[in-house]
Structure 1
Amino acid sequence: MMNCLQMWPEPVVRVQHLSDSGIRVIPERYVKKPSERPSISEPVDKEINIPVIDLQNLYSDEESLRQETSSLIYDACSKWGFFQVVNHGVSHQLMAATREVWRQFFQLPLELKQQYANSPATYEGYGSRLGVEKGISLDWSDYFFLHYLPMSLRDQTKWPSVPDSCRELVAKYSEEVVKLGGKLMKIFSVTLGLRENHLEQAFGGEIGACLRANYYPKCPQPDLTLGISSHSDPGGMTLLLPDECVPGLQVRHANNWITVKPVPNAFIVNIGDQIQVLSNATYKSVEHRVMVNSEKERVSLAFFYNPKSDVLIKPVEELVTEDKPALYSPMTYDEYRVHIRIRGPCGKSQVESLKSPK
């Protein structure tokens, strides 16, 4: 993986520290352009939500129920790029405990968290910015990023040792979410008309899996900034454990921003750019962003399920036809994410730039 910089180009400011300091005006670096601010685009119908799908129905004895659920997944991936899953097999208690242990981590004294401060060389650890380009607009959030797979990258000594249960919970949680990701990859393959293990093999047979715990502090001017700017996820897919008590995730759908209403004990699943490329844009990676608010903090856990870093990703041959030729040029995931790591979140510009010249 590229090491674009060993150190951040500017001093890193912890957003939580800014929030706790009692400021009433946010620094200019966090103020978004008027067209990007969350108050600009409100959803037409506030009752709209992303699809909610019961995975248990895929294993029903009734073929009609299995077919209906497969159709719902196909529609969600092709029209929304997002859906929520219930009855997914991951322990609800484990989900709640893992989210809570991260909430406790972010409430620790700054000097303890600073021991895990990250650098752009690997991103692993406690961070407060995503792009390394000097002078870029910043988001109102802190995070902790860590690797789970491949095993060669997993180093639990880099994971927080406090709270005491953090490392154990993260390991158990990651193991369960990887299993769920594997199930979903098979479902995506079948619903695309491919053999069950096709996408997993296209990922190189050895996945990359990493976790980003997101912390969105209270913000005195939430109408001027974002917790994460609009972007599509560069990897394969993301399984998000949201903060059920504080909405914040917005998904772009039909040119409107839809605020997602989390279902209790559900994961929010979204298609990443690599599956959009493999499916030749049948399945869509969709722009999304995160709002912040002035009254409550938010904690969410984003689990990224990615291809092997050095495998060429290109449209699956079976999904390329005369009517729909290959839309994207081959590129490894390592090459692809360099762009994101330099500039930070930037809409759909990266995956669109991959399109083959006509």
Structure 2
Amino acid sequence: MYLSQSPNGIKPCHPCTYPPPPPPPSKEQKDQNEIKGYFDFKLLHEEAEIPKQFIWSSRDLVKGTPEKLETTLIDLKAIKRDEGAMASAAELVRKACLKHGFFEITNHGVDLHLITAAHQEFESIFKLPLSKKLTAKKNVWGYASGHAERFSSSLPWKETFTYRYNYIHKSESQVVDFFTSVLGEDFQNSGLVNQRYCEAVKEVSMVLLELLAISLGVDRSHFQKYFEDGEAVMRCNAYPPCNGSDLTLGVGPHCDPTSITILHQDQISGLEVFVDNKWLAVPPRPEAPDTFIINIGDTFKALTNGIYKSCLLRMLVNGKVMRKSLTFFLNPKGDKTVKPPNTLFESEEERKYPDFIWSEF
């Protein structure tokens, strides 16, 4: 017998007068509940207006200038066995990192076909139905879309796929294992392509660390030894076409908290850097499609005692076509103490930052 509240207290009422319980949710309704809080960019592109959650403030949307950031392009192949070329490149890198922390590299040894394949594998993932992509969401790893589950305003107009790559790992197939675990065996080739990509970029990072050490005047193997057991984060960012591209951002203004970012962008412009109080574009280089953009993050800035800069950057979106980038974030091992070499400061009073453990940053 059901109970109901009356002015005189609780009294029994006839079961037939009580609303029946709702039927259990159908599988279709369950699927809808599972994707609640996520946006399907395929559908959003068909809308005349973008959701208000994606609209950014006028402060963040300040238009960039027609100017481009003047970046140094380093030919890594030319410096590997030529000490004179290495010294010249180190000086160019030093000047760039003292000013804004950005430079570019080419002829780095990562095959252009491998870079292209990595872009293609991610493109196939982003074309999957939203319900399938969400099966690959594992906390901070795997698939993410708009971050509506974390924030309610100024959402980034992007989709991402993120995974870890440890420089020292008990499994030689760590990336393949992750892809098949979150997407299924059909994506083994995607994992294999990404595994090879990370292995190749790891080799590039070791050359960069030597170049940066020389540019700072410290032992040339100092940073190579420090990062030999590094823990990288690999992320593909996809910025879908947007009917309100002047109202939103793919990524808002920020400094990378990591050590070194190794980024490959497709042939669609969108990256901007804040230098001399204005936003400057860092466009693709069609004449050198293998180009990687390198930028210093907050952690490496601390490793240089603040000598090198970690600069504000943001990502714009395009009104007609998708833009993609492959982003490899190099970090120290989690338990490493972040502290600059003693040669970069003469006394503790000259220290700009206290020591800290990377995983606690």
TM-score, scaled to structure 1: 0.82
* Post-superposition offset of 1:262: 1.4
C-alpha spacing 1:146/1:47, structure 2 compared with 1 (3 Å): closer
> 1:11 Cα shift?
4.6
| SS of equivalent to 1:257 | strand
Residue in structure 2 matched with residue 332 of structure 1 by the alignment: 357
Quick one: which of 73, 86, 98 aligns to 2:106? 86
User: Which position in structure 2 is the counterpart of 1:348?
Assistant: none
The 2-side partners of 1:165 and 1:202 are apart by: 32
Which of 265, 269, 290 lines up with 2:315 in the alignment?
290
State whether structure 2 residue 348 is matched by structure 1 residue 310: no
Q: CA separation of 1:249/1:222 partners in 2, compared to 1, >3 Å: closer, same or farther?
A: same
For 1:132-143, what aligned pairs fall within 5 Å after superposition?
A: 134-143=151-160
Instruction: Tell me what 1:352 maps to.
Output: none
- Who wins on radius of gyration, i.e. which is larger? 2
1:258 corresponds to which residue?
A: 280
1:172 equivalent to 2:196? Answer yes
Asked if 2 retains the 8 angstrom alpha-carbon contact of 1:46 and 1:258, the reply is: yes
Distance 1:15 1:193, change over 3 A: farther
Question: Residues 155 and 12 of structure 1: is their aligned pair in 2 closer, same or farther, counting only changes over 3 Å?
Answer: farther
CA RMSD of aligned residues (A): 2.3
* Residue in structure 1 matching 2:56, options 32, 35, 38: 32
Name the structure 1 match of 2:236.
213
Encode CA deviations 1:73-129: one digit per residue, 9 max, x unaligned.
11122212111101111111111111111112111222322220232xxx1111125
Q: Does 1:226 align with 2:244?
A: no
- Letter matched to residue 316 of structure 2: M
Give the gaps of 5 or more residues in structure 2.
1-34
* 1:54-93 → structure 2 map (5 Å cutoff): 54-59=75-80, 61=82, 63=84, 65-93=85-113
Q: Summarize the Cα distance change of 1:48–1:237 in structure 2 as closer, same or farther, 3 Å threshold.
A: closer
Distance 2:141 2:348 in 1: 43
* 1:104-253 map, 5 Å: 104-119=124-139, 123-129=140-146, 134-149=151-166, 150-151=168-169, 154=174, 156-159=176-179, 160-161=183-184, 162-163=186-187, 165-203=189-227, 205-244=228-267, 246-253=268-275
Corresponding position of 2:3: none
For the residues of structure 2 that align with 1:95 and 1:133, how far apart are their CA atoms? 31
Q: State the percentage of identical aligned residues.
A: 30
1:13 aligns with 2:38: yes
1:218–1:297 Cα contact (<8 Å) kept: yes
Are residue 268 (structure 1) and residue 288 (structure 2) matched?
A: no
8 A Cα contact 1:19 1:217, kept in partner: no
For residue 165 of structure 1, report the CA deviation from its aligned partner. Answer: 2.2
Asked whether the 8 Å contact 1:235–1:333 carries over to 2, the reply is: no
Question: How far has the Cα of 1:322 moved from its partner?
Answer: 5.4
Q: Is the 8 A contact 1:15 1:142 kept in 2?
A: no
Q: Give structure 1 stretches of 5+ with no counterpart.
A: 1-9, 337-358
Q: Report how far residue 134 of structure 1 moved.
A: 4.7
Q: Equivalents in 2 of 1:99, 1:152: separation in Å?
A: 27
Query: How does 1:41-52 map onto structure 2 within 5 Å?
Result: 41-43=63-65, 45-52=66-73
Find the aligned partners of 1:27 and 1:103 in 2 and give their Cα distance.
Answer: 24
What CA distance in whole angstroms lies between the structure 2 residues aligned with 1:298 and 1:18?
17
* Cα 1:270–1:62 shift into 2, 3 Å: closer
Q: How many residues align structurally?
A: 317
> Counterparts of 2:320 and 2:122 in 1: how far apart (Å)?
20
Structure with greater contact order relative to length (CA < 8 Å, sep ≥ 6): 1
CA distance in 2, matches of 1:135, 1:112: 24
Between the aligned partners of 1:14 and 1:166, the Cα distance in structure 2 is 24
Distance 1:189 1:11, change over 3 A: farther
User: Structure 1 residues 47, 279: closer, same or farther in 2, change over 3 A?
Assistant: closer
